[in-house]
Amino acid sequence: MDTDQIRTFLAVAAHGSFLEAAERLHVTQSTVSARIQRLEADLGNRLFVRNRSGASLTAAGRRFLRHAKSLLLTLEQARHDVGLPSRFRASITVGARIALWEGFLPQWLGRFRASAPDVSVRSEIGFEEDLMRRLVEGTLDVGLMYTPRHSPGLTVEQLFDETLVLCGTDPKARGPGEDYVHVDWGPAFHAQHAQHYPDVERPALHANIGWLGVQIILCNGGSCFLPERMARPLIEAGRLFPVPGSPRLSLPAYMVFPRDSESPVLPQVLHGLRALAAEQG
């Protein structure tokens, strides 16, 4: 049994498909099948039932699931702790969408470091797909994102609601124009956007993160929807202007973490995130 087999098992369990697991792990489907077969041989039990709808865990697979997470987490933790300087008693890894690293998470990090200077913190940026995969694998302690998936063994908790506002470089703009950049804030945003702008044609410019939308409009002119806390300093600096009469859209922000974690500092991390989130309201 090796880490590749465990990671592959967790990927198939999370996505319910050998094919999708292969795509997520960037290997062939035959590689996934071979790893699972070797793992099943090592354990002496069948872990998955394959059918037209994908792959589902057997009773033995469900029992192994919690052990697989623990094994991978233990290996990753051991690899990290071996190289951890003696002045640190523990480490924590936090990953999030880049927009949540604008203001919110750096503020949390400053407070956490002040209260726990003997804890090493690894900060990462990622998209929901990668963050969820890392959480399932056990290589991420907590992930913050906008469109999480529910997965066995993980807790999804809403932290706060972002308020998205339409901002642009032209103070006279009155709505999405030809230079409007459509930022992909997820399904909830798309639904609200379509409700408020049913007649707006598909824009020519798209961005998958807010930071990229900002760079495009600051360089070329235009407008896009941004979290209010992200737009505020740019508005105060006179670089962007709120578009009068535009709707204020809601975007829930979530934190996702293992339901059963052995991390000694995760409860303190979660408490700090909840406290800071409460201040956002």
pLDDT of 85 > 60? The answer is: no
pLDDT > 90: what percent of the chain? 61
Please give the span between the terminal C-alpha atoms of the chain, in angstroms, as a whole number. Answer: 48
Please tell me the pTM assigned to this model: 0.70
Average pLDDT over residues 5-29: 90
What's the pLDDT band for 177 if we cut at 50, 70, 90? confident
pLDDT per position as a tens digit, 115-149: 999 998 989 999 998 899 888 878 899 999 999 98
* Domains of the chain as residue ranges with CATH: 3-79 (1.10.10.10), 92-281 (3.40.190.290)
**Residue 153 or 236, more confident:** 236
pLDDT per position as a tens digit, 188-215: 899 999 999 988 878 889 999 999 999 9
Q: Which pLDDT value is given to residue 281?
A: 62
Q: Which pLDDT value is given to residue 130?
A: 87
Going by C-beta distance under 8 Å and a sequence separation of 6 or more, which residues neighbour residue 248? 163, 164, 165, 228
Q: Which pLDDT value is given to residue 134?
A: 85
Q: Work out the angle at residue 136's Cα, subtended by the Cα atoms of residues 135 and 140, and round it to the nearest 5 degrees.
A: 25
Q: What is the DSSP string of 113-162?
A: HHH-TTEEEEEEE--HHHHHHHHHHTS-SEEEESS----TTEEEEEEEEE
Contact between residue 136 and residue 11 where contact means Cβ atoms under 8 Å apart: yes
Q: How many Cα atoms are found within 13 Å in the side-chain-facing hemisphere of 70?
A: 9
